[in-house]
């Protein structure tokens, strides 16, 4: 499915009163039963399970084993769970992720709870699906090491338990496609809701504190938060899944120089030598979605993240530059960092200290019971 089409589907969920479900979605749900929490419609979950990768018990269990197995990395030190820790709401609590040999990446590791509902994966949407996303860290030198997919496959094929598990799940030997499908199947079971906000919306008026209720009003009105973090029961993830420049990237010392070089390329072809040269420059990661599309309108743009469980996933922003939720609120109260490509929706808002504090309390009300219970901090 093309990125643009998938984004339209996400938008349709945000606007729709009811959902049109694929004819076989019920069968997909029956193949592996997921106990969905209060707040996530079963029809929505079923819709986002792809036809070419229906969930089965064998596939989900294989994906779970792979997700936690450090043998997928080149030196046996890093697993998917190293950056997506169940005890940290499937994030890692670092400013930027850390891979083999202590190598650091350039972006904050986002939670993968509810990632199946994203319009694209990674902060810049460079992966279309969970299946695509799952296999890219395997060959990233800063994540799982300087290795090839073939080397990963060869290593797994030497483990009898895995050769048996892949035959049971896919009826075939280990392939990079089946690795991606198994991990993605497990990740589609990582859904999260049943927060105080969800129970409040379901009719329990005691579920949220008075401060959180006041904060929800600020969130919907003068705070203008719903310009990007939309509230909708049909698509209940507090994100419109759009890529925007909010000015976070502009805080990098090289951002202006990088954007000038990017603009000089015109409508860049992401496969061109000049584009590749730009992407290797110091700080080029801050160019965001531009590195995927080559479109100048995407300079410094990153996907609007979900706010569910945001209380547990500090630090914040794509580069981990905001330490606390209060810092995030202050950043947006001032209208973000000014730069020529900043999203038009952003503007300074006049909120009192109490209103800002109430906003933080509302954001905390989006923490699910399970995520809070599993949090180790």
Q: H or E stretch including 224?
A: none
**Structural contact between residues 317 and 109, judged by C-beta atoms closer than 8 angstroms:** no
Other Cβ atoms less than 10 A from the Cβ of 264: the count is 10
Q: Pick the closest to residue 147 from 91, 92, 84, 71 (CA basis).
A: 71
**Structural contact between residues 28 and 49, judged by C-beta atoms closer than 8 angstroms:** yes
**Geometric angle at alpha carbon 35, from 33 and 37, rounded to 5°:** 150
- Distances 180 to 42, 81, 141, 222 between C-alpha atoms, Å: 24, 15, 18, 43
Strand partners, 301: 288
Residue with the two structure tokens 């914040």:
316
Tokens of 116: 């199946």
Alpha helices in 158-304 (DSSP H): 160-170, 176-187, 196-201, 210-220, 255-264, 273-279, 290-293
Query: Mind telling me the catalytic residues?
Result: 143
Q: What is the tally of helices (H) and strands (E) in the chain?
A: 17, 2
Other Cβ atoms less than 10 A from the Cβ of 43: the count is 17
Helix-helix angle 160-170:176-187, to 10 degrees: 80
- Distances 98 to 78, 90, 92, 101, 104 between C-alpha atoms, Å: 9, 14, 9, 9, 4
């Amino acid at each position: 499915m093309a990125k643009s089409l998938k984004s339209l589907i996400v938008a349709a969920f945000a606007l729709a009163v009811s959902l049109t479900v694929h004819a076989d979605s019920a069968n997909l749900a029956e193949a592996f039963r997921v106990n969905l929490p209060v707040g996530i419609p079963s029809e929505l979950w079923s819709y986002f399970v792809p036809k070419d990768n229906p969930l089965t018990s064998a596939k989900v269990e294989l994906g779970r084993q792979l997700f936690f197995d450090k043998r997928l990395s080149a030196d046996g030190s890093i697993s998917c769970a190293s950056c997506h820790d169940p005890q940290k709401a499937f994030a890692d609590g670092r400013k930027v992720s850390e891979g083999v040999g202590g190598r650091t990446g350039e972006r904050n590791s986002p939670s993968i709870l509810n990632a199946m509902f994203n319009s694209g994966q990674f902060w810049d949407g460079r992966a279309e699906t969970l299946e695509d996303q799952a296999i890219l860290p395997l060959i990233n030198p800063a994540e799982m090491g300087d290795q090839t997919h073939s080397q990963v496959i060869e290593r797994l094929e030497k483990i009898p338990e895995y050769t048996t598990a892949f035959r049971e799940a896919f009826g075939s030997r280990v392939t990079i496609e089946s690795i991606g499908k198994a991990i993605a199947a497990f990740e589609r079971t990582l859904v999260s809701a049943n927060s105080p906000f969800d129970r409040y919306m379901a009719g329990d008026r005691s579920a949220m504190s008075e401060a959180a209720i006041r904060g929800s009003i600020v969130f919907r009105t003068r705070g203008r938060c719903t310009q990007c973090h939309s509230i909708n029961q049909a698509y209940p993830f507090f994100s419109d899944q759009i890529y925007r420049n909010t000015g976070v990237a502009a805080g990098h010392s090289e951002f202006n120089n990088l954007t000038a070089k990017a603009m000089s390329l015109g409508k860049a072809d992401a496969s061109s030598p000049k584009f590749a040269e730009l992407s290797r420059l110091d700080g080029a990661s801050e160019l965001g979605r531009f590195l995927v599309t080559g479109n100048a309108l995407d300079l410094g743009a990153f996907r609007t993240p979900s706010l569910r469980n945001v209380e547990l996933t500090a630090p914040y922003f794509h580069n981990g530059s905001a330490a606390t939720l209060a810092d995030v609120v202050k950043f947006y109260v001032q209208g973000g960092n000014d730069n020529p490509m900043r999203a038009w929706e952003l503007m300074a808002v006049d909120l009192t200290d109490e209103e800002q504090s109430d906003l933080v309390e509302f954001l905390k009300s989006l923490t699910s019971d399970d995520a809070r219970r599993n949090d180790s901090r």
